[in-house]
Structure 1
Amino acid sequence: MTRLLVAHALLFVVTALVCLAGIPRARKIQHAGTREGLLGLLVSVTIWAGGYVGYLFAPTIEWKLGFYILGSVFAFVAVGAWLYFCAAYTGRPPRNAPYRTTAVGAFLALAALKITNPLHELYFTATWATNPFPHLAITHQPLYWISLGITYVISGIGFFMLFEQFHHTGADTRPLLGLAGLTAIPAVVTVFSDELHDVLPLMYEPPGVALFAIGTLFVYNQRFEAIRSTADTDSPAIFLDRDDHILDYNEAAQAIFPALDGSIGSHIDAVRPALAGALPEQDVITVTENGTERAYEVSHTPFMAGEMETGKLVTITDVTERESYRQQLEAKTEQLETLNRVVRHDIRNDMAVVQGWADSLENHIDPAGEDALERVINKSDHVIELTDILADVVESVAGTGETAVEPTELARILETELAAVRESHSTAEIRVSGPIPAVSVQANEMLSSVFGNILENAVRHSDENPAAVEISCTEQAETVRVRFADTGPGVPDNQKEEIFGKGEKGLESPGSGIGLYLVHTLVEQFGGEVWVEDNDPKGAVFIVELRKAN
């Protein structure tokens, strides 16, 4: 066995082993299309190189021919896998590519011509030779050069996709450009193999693919993944290792943080401490650019090797308009809360004076004026009550964040409000039909405002004397319904939605004022529902459905 034969064999054996070693790593690539394409490339190149090894060492001419044809067929498979990989990596879904059926048909036709070459010899001819060592000499025919030209055109399209992608990111892609270039260099040997002394006329691209696989999967894996992640966005991005040291960044990130220039290998804290502080949780930082303050949201996507984080892609999104709106909203909310406190204070003080005057008139008025005085006192009580409702409305509407919901005892809240309305409306007939379930619901102490406002609304708007309200509860698997049935004038169908202040009219909708608007707002925040139906034979039924607490 000559050293030249061993050299040829080692070249393809090592290539196959390297590609096999890269398969487990390639399976960990997060992006499905990129993973499928690279796996297909590695497997096909492994078989391609293995076919050439079999061609060199097979014991008979028939076996040598068979292995050579196997290698040449999978060389064409590898080209298809390369194009699939490049398309997926650069954001062009291969499964949506045009002319897919035509491409598959052309591939099958060329593969059939290669397999049937012993019959027509349009692809190559084979003769036994002893120089530079005993081997089956391959002489390429026109069909080989045509198919080789096609494969190079297809491979060139893939290279164009990659180079365009590398340029688009604005990151330092020189290492990946170098790896892609190495993949193409063996093509020179392939084209001139017939003219080179001591070189068999084979296709020598497999070692280039092996070098590309080693580089992208083991040396520059994080940068390789990060560039694909930023393919479809112009957002500023910084690539960090697992210890938050800077591996790379794109031009858009450097435009915001000039300190990134020359920072490769430095900790992110050296660029801007606030940026480092925003990494643990998605946070917003402010940056002054040309005298103007802008807000950026910092988020990151981890790169994983199994269950271990190997690095992260930090994405920086301009949220200046959103933050400006949030600050304006907070300022208006604070103004609303201040106005609420001032107005409530002034109204309650003035109404206390009115009530004092009314009380002083009680012993100085004749029987004919007693009814009018009682109306004045009731109305002043109602105005003071409205200020309490207004406070609840402001708290529910202007509160920051989500409403805190917790298990709340239904019976305790409902019985307390029933006692309060019976005390303030002693002549009203407030009846409870059936037991109140001893369950907790998803709500909070503001549930008292829901029940209190519905009860007050039913009594105040009753056109019967005395007013009558019947309360009943229905327990279901996951919810509880509380029904408030009155015998008042009822609610017309065209007002059943508007009475809660729903729709465009809001608080100006017809109905009973802000009390029912508050009811709807609170119940919605609790995750429940409230609606009104007709009572039989007259009146309305207000139904509050609340979720049971787990």
Structure 2
Amino acid sequence: MIQLLGAGGSLLAGSGLPTPTFLTYVLAFSLAAVICFAAIPRARAINAADDTRNGLVALVAISGVWAALQVGYLAAPTLSLQYGFYIAGLVVGLSTVGPWLYFCSAYTGRSLHDNPTYRRIAIAVYLVIVSIKVTNPIHGLYFTATPTTTPFIHLMIDHGTLHWLAMGLAYALATVGIFMLFELFAQVDYDTRPFVGLVGLTALPVALDILGSISPNVIDMSYSALGVAAFAVGVLFVYTDRFETIQLAGQYDSPVVVLGDDDEIRDYNRRAAELFPALKDGLGEELATVVPTLSQCPNNEAVIELEIDGETRYFQSTTSPFSASRVQLGRLLVLTDVTAQERYRRQLEAQNERLEQFTGMVSHDLRNPLNVAQGNSEIIHELLTAAQTDDGRYEPLTPDTLETIDTAAETLSRTLQRMESLIDDLLVLAREGQEIDELERVSLAAIGENCWAMVEGKAATFVVDDDLTVEADPDRLQQLLENLFRNAIEHGGRDVTIRIGALDTETGFYVEDDGPGIPADKRDNVFESGYTTNREGTGFGLSIVSEIVAAHNWRITLAESSTGGARFEIIIDSDDANTDDAPSADTDVVDTTTDTDAVDTTTDSDRSGK
């Protein structure tokens, strides 16, 4: 409905020069239209997925048309033209909601814009609302128009209830898009403040819309095209690279660093700054100067090792070209935490190395006793064959022949026993180096006493200086202590004293004796497989100890005890052990010597390296 002011529907005739307010309105919407149309080529050139680019192009193009129609509504010379421009603006303005949601969904990595059901519902709702708008001249339920001269001569619009319902729906949907963007901004850990401001500009016209409905000094019309124009300027002309970086970063939940053409640091996210605090003061500086570790990463995939809170973690670095408006600006460096995979890979490598080592030791260490056994069996066979007659009987053997056969048989028996010991130790060595599945909190003193009961002998002495609670595999810890005890007895003498206790300066425990000790120049060799100073030994006792220590992620060192004997120190990470008081009622030293002297723990097992 139009209530005419003046004959022929002419509103501006005889009104004089345009007022400054009128010129401000026309200039603002004209500028918005020009900006939107100028932004179309820039939007088409952004380095983004097709759906993101298409949504942005449609948004700025339709917003440009909308702003141009608003200029027509303000500046048309007749009421009828103003009325027509206004209805056209209502139709086009509502259609901007679709591209806005399409763009927001695509930019934030969602698939809502591809859902056919949502599309059909959106089109149906749009057509219903548009039909109400374009038929307003018939029913007048959407708005009424009345000429006015405040704040300048124009066609004043009085909106009906249907308009407010439609506008509420449009702004609610636009808010959904804003929420999607803000959610992405919160996730990517980048400095998104410029874009928060730009998105805020798209919502600012809502205040003008509300003010226009209550104040005669502000025209009651839609100002949203102005907000879209400001958003387009910011995204496509000022912060283009940041706009594309944020979308790329939204694809990663990992540390990301953006590098320029000359590898200068252009941007980074919070996760990257947590790993490399130097990034915070390194914007614009070369990566090699700020974070040398990252600069050494090749262009292809590489794994770097970092110490984080005392834990070794592994990150795979990948780089990819980074472009803005299809012009390459540098590289995107992404670090992916592959600690679990790298540990598993290294575990497999260690197992393969142990398998190769096991195979080599079997072929090397068993070959000599096998040759000895074969040689002695051949001697016995030859002597018996020589004594055999044609009828299958044996002639009486001479004393020398019997002695030779007896010597060969004894040698053969000892050799087979040695081969059995070698095989047993090799199997233990292979088993003890395997990964530990579960750890238990156990008492060092209790395990030590159990081990001592398993060690044969009557003359050695076992003393617990103080106790320690450790997280360990009880069976392997017992094997470790048994080997160290036997090692001490084998090389320290039948009356050796063996002591265990907690370390003073580090978390861990020691096993020491008062024997002759190990020369300093031999200490680097004692943990090698097959190394022994005992002709009857296999040389695997301390190798097994070393494998058990490695399986627990502990460390072992060899030093000299206060009495000149050997002192083995096992260092445990501080999170894996707790020192407790020894369970003695009268003293902090537990002496488990039996009888009046000591327990003799002489054994046939060898001591590697001593």
Q: Does 1:36 align with 2:54?
A: yes
Give the corresponding residue for 2:165.
Answer: 146
Q: Does 1:22 align with 2:60?
A: no
Does the CA contact (< 8 Å) of 2:241 and 2:324 recur in 1? no
Change (3 A) 1:194 1:339: closer
Give the corresponding residue for 1:87.
Answer: 105
Aligned length: 362
Change (3 A) 1:42 1:120: same
Match for residue 156 of structure 2 among 137, 161, 166:
137
Higher Rg of the two aligned structures: 2
Q: Which amino acid aligns with 2:250?
A: A
Give the corresponding residue for 1:11.
Answer: 28
Q: Which amino acid aligns with 1:6?
A: L
Counterparts of 1:67-466 in structure 2, within 5 Å, are 67-94=85-112, 95-96=114-115, 99-278=118-297, 280-305=299-324, 308-331=327-350
Distance 2:356 2:170 in 1: 72
Does the CA contact (< 8 Å) of 1:82 and 1:155 recur in 2? yes
Change (3 A) 1:195 1:346: closer
Identical-residue share of aligned pairs (%): 43
Shift of 1:241: 3.3
> Which SS does the other structure have where 1:193 is aligned?
helix
Change (3 A) 1:346 1:168: closer
The CA RMSD over aligned residues, in Å, is 3.3
Distance 1:266 1:147 in 2: 52
> Which SS does the other structure have where 1:310 is aligned?
strand
Shift of 1:337: 6.2
Q: Which amino acid aligns with 1:35?
A: R
Shift of 1:288: 0.6
Distance 1:189 1:277 in 2: 54
> Which SS does the other structure have where 1:125 is aligned?
strand
Change (3 A) 1:90 1:289: same
Does the CA contact (< 8 Å) of 1:223 and 1:239 recur in 2? no
| 1:151-173: CA deviation from partner (whole Å, max 9, x where unpaired) | 11111111122212211222222
Shift of 1:204: 0.9
Does the CA contact (< 8 Å) of 2:240 and 2:324 recur in 1? no
Distance 1:140 1:71 in 2: 14
> Which SS does the other structure have where 2:284 is aligned?
coil
TM-score normalized with structure 1 length: 0.59
Does the CA contact (< 8 Å) of 1:302 and 1:313 recur in 2? yes
Does the CA contact (< 8 Å) of 1:33 and 1:93 recur in 2? no
| 1:349-374: CA deviation from partner (whole Å, max 9, x where unpaired) | 999xx9xxxxxxxxxxxxxxxxxxxx
Give the corresponding residue for 1:60.
Answer: 78
Shift of 1:345: 8.9
Which of structures 1 and 2 has the larger relative contact order (alpha carbons within 8 angstroms, sep 6+)? 2
Shift of 1:348: 11
Distance 1:187 1:222 in 2: 29
Change (3 A) 1:161 1:31: same
Does the CA contact (< 8 Å) of 2:150 and 2:216 recur in 1? no
Shift of 1:331: 4.6
Distance 1:287 1:218 in 2: 39
Distance 2:326 2:73 in 1: 42
Shift of 1:40: 1.8
TM-score normalized with structure 2 length: 0.53
Unaligned runs of 5+ in 2: 1-16, 375-610
Change (3 A) 1:260 1:332: same
Distance 1:306 1:143 in 2: 42
Unaligned runs of 5+ in 1: 355-550
Q: Which amino acid aligns with 1:83?
A: L
Change (3 A) 1:218 1:81: same
Shift of 1:62: 2.8
Distance 2:186 2:328 in 1: 27
| 1:358-400: CA deviation from partner (whole Å, max 9, x where unpaired) | xxxxxxxxxxxxxxxxxxxxxxxxxxxxxxxxxxxxxxxxxxx
Give the corresponding residue for 2:67.
Answer: 49
